[in-house]
Amino acid sequence: MLNQRRDRVVGTIALLVVGTTAALVGCAGGVTVTDDGATVIVTDAGFLTGDEASIQGMISITEAGCVGITDTQGGTYPAVWPRGTSLVGDSEIAIDIPDVGIKRLGDEVNGAGGYYEIGTWSVLAEVAERCHWDGEVIGVRLD
């Protein structure tokens, strides 16, 4: 009986260690910054790991030309878009989001994610530089 309990405790600890390690590996990811000259888009490269804050707003452009989100409180932030999101090459700014489709400036977006302070995430240093930004960035998943 004691051996079964000990084995169960050891197994539980092993699962916790594996789960924690997997979560930390997810945090080690980064972002990809793509600049077409006038417009900058930031996409996930392993940075977004599962935050569940409700993200609602409109697709917008920051003063420095980064594709972002204007949230329901009226604040505009650069955004980290889902992996595979790309700029659409036409006369008006639009992005193609995998499994969602093409969204244009002013279109609504609803998803999950979080607000990330640039200064506390080293992977966001290039976002700070390219977007001339020192505040929060919105990371959004639109699954």
Q: Comparing 106 with 25, which gets the higher pLDDT? A: 106
110 is a domain residue: yes
53 is a domain residue: yes
Q: For residue range 54-78, what is the model confidence (pLDDT) as tens digits?
A: 999 999 999 999 999 999 999 999 9
pLDDT at 69: 97
Question: What is the domain count for the chain?
Answer: 1
pLDDT at residue 96 tops 70: yes
How far, in Å, CA of 126 to CA of 133, rounded?
10
14 is a domain residue: no
pTM (predicted TM-score)? 0.76
How far, in Å, CA of 99 to CA of 51, rounded?
19
Q: For residue range 43-52, what is the model confidence (pLDDT) as tens digits?
A: 999 888 778 8
12 is a domain residue: no
CB 61 within 8 A of CB 105: yes
How far, in Å, CA of 141 to CA of 53, rounded?
10
19 is a domain residue: no
Domain that holds residue 109: 29-141
Overall average pLDDT of the 27-37 stretch: 79
13 is a domain residue: no
Q: Which amino acid is at 109?
A: V
pLDDT at 35: 86
